Amino acid sequence: MAVVVIIVSVTQPDRGLLGRALSWYPLRWIGMISYGLYLWHWPVYLTLTGTRTGLEGNGLLFARLGVTFAFATASFYLLERPIRRGTFRIPRPVFTAPVLVGALLAGLVLSTSGAGTPPANAALRSITAGASAASAARSSGAGAGAAPVPSTPAAPAASASDPGATATTVPTPPHRASVLVLGDSVAISLGEGLDAVTAENPNLSSINRGSLGCGMLRHGEIDMGLQLYEQPGICDDWQGRWLDPINEFHPDEVMLLTGAWDLLDRKIDGTWYQPGQVGFDRYFLSELEQATQALTSQGSKLVILTTPFFSRPELVGQTGHAWPEYDPWRVDRINALYRDFLVAHPGRYTLIDLNRYISPGGQYAENIDGIKIRDDGVHFTFDGAVYVSKWLVPQLEQVAKLPTTAESAPVEEFDPRHLHPT
């Protein structure tokens, strides 16, 4: 209604004070390039982050506005206005047709060359910085699934015409243990590096089967700080996300890593809980109890990685917003629950402290030893995932040698009526 009042007032023969104010040339010029401002502000805000520029607050805001105005001005005078006036010269069809056909063919080749890559990995690679063409080639090969165990060649039989000949005994190669990576998009990004590191490893192979947007916890509405989010049904389906890959690959180990999804306030049976409250902790331990039973139900050894610290992402229009899911105390509480459960259930899984390794001094770190580990505050870059995997692989090899001691029990659905929060 306020906009209607403004439009009516400035379109009258006597535009009045408001009309004269809005006729000020700088404001009319901003209106003239406003479409370019709309188009350019998004990539500029995503690129010019506080981490990259070293700026924050108003300094960061002015830098973003300055670059956005520069791009919008250039696109207006060099592209938009010439197109509107018909002075923009488009190459003749005799030139553009072959170029267009070549581009389409190139796109077809590139889009089909990675057909062996799991859909989840491809989806993550499109949003995770640091994945290069080389990483895609590696992950679409040996990293796309369990690397095959070399078969033992048949020993040549002794020749009947040569009584002195003896059969040659070929030694059986050592068993190559397999590890199935499960979790959310953070696990998928780490699995990309693990695929590359284990591709040439004679003792270990990896299978990356994380699920975008799904942690360990099931059921209920989630509070994401800016909005309430109903967890999709696929996240409640442990059979499809976990048990089906286990039954398909029969891995020696299962490695579970979950990110921010399990740190959020969650509504269960009409009541909101957050980490540290009795209701949430009891629910988390109940889900962990059932998850560990499910993940070891086929005899696989279970490895759980501690949840890493996260950094608040800088998104358009949300600068300065408090993201509760990235508070370090939430990560500390979840990792404490992993440890408490292990004390009560010794041998159920092996806990590897990923958070301690990639958080020097107990703080989120974007770069370690000159390598960019994460650059969006959440996911691993490909180089970062390789760096972490080189530290992780020897520990996974040791776990593969351990005897299976996890308890076995039927997996039952969680009933929120069992919660009695105080």
Q: What mean pLDDT comes out for the span 389-402?
A: 92
In a domain, 188, yes or no: yes
Q: Are residues 124 and 53 in the same domain?
A: no
In a domain, 377, yes or no: yes
Segment 222-264, tens digit of pLDDT: 877 667 777 777 888 888 889 999 999 999 999 999 888 898 8
For residue 255, CA distances in Å to 188, 190, 246 come to: 11, 11, 11
**Residue 365 maps to which CATH number?**
3.40.50.1110
Question: Cβ(268)–Cβ(219) under 8 Å?
Answer: yes
Q: Which single residue is written with the structure tokens 């895609």?
A: 136
In a domain, 407, yes or no: yes
Number of domain units in the chain:
2
**271 or 338, which is more confident:** 338
- The pLDDT value given to residue 324: 66
Listed residues 46, 75, 106: the one ending a domain:
106
Q: Are residues 85 and 138 in the same domain?
A: no
Q: Are strands 271-273 and 265-268 parallel, antiparallel or unpaired?
A: antiparallel
pLDDT band for 273, please (50, 70, 90 cuts): confident
Q: Which single residue is written with the structure tokens 């995997």?
A: 389
- The pLDDT value given to residue 96: 54
Q: Are residues 74 and 203 in the same domain?
A: no
Q: Are residues 97 and 126 in the same domain?
A: no
Question: Cβ(150)–Cβ(136) under 8 Å?
Answer: no
Q: What mean pLDDT comes out for the span 404-419?
A: 41
| pTM to 2 decimal places | 0.60
Q: Are residues 131 and 190 in the same domain?
A: yes
Distance CA 280, CA 268 (A): 9
In a domain, 152, yes or no: no
In a domain, 166, yes or no: no
Kindly state the DSSP code that residue 269 receives in the 8-state scheme.
T
Q: Give the domain extent around 200.
A: 119-146+175-418
Q: Cα torsion at 218, 220, 223, 229 (round to 10°)?
A: 90
Listed residues 77, 106, 135: the one ending a domain:
106
Q: Are residues 202 and 57 in the same domain?
A: no
Question: Cβ(327)–Cβ(252) under 8 Å?
Answer: no
Q: Residue 382 corresponds to which tokens in the numbers above? A: 């490909």
Q: Are residues 341 and 412 in the same domain?
A: yes
pLDDT band for 133, please (50, 70, 90 cuts): very low
Residue 265 has pLDDT above 80, yes or no: yes
Q: Are residues 310 and 370 in the same domain?
A: yes
Q: Are residues 190 and 336 in the same domain?
A: yes
In a domain, 250, yes or no: yes
Most confident of 98-102, 131-135, 165-169, 280-284: 280-284
Q: Are residues 97 and 142 in the same domain?
A: no
Residue 422 has pLDDT above 80, yes or no: no
Listed residues 49, 78, 106: the one ending a domain:
106
In a domain, 159, yes or no: no
- The pLDDT value given to residue 333: 94
The kind and range of the H/E element at 385 are: helix 382-401
pLDDT band for 359, please (50, 70, 90 cuts): very high
pLDDT band for 91, please (50, 70, 90 cuts): low
Q: Of 397, 350, 399, 385, which Cα lies nearest the Cα of 197?
A: 385
Q: Are residues 190 and 318 in the same domain?
A: yes
Q: Are residues 102 and 124 in the same domain?
A: no
In a domain, 1, yes or no: no
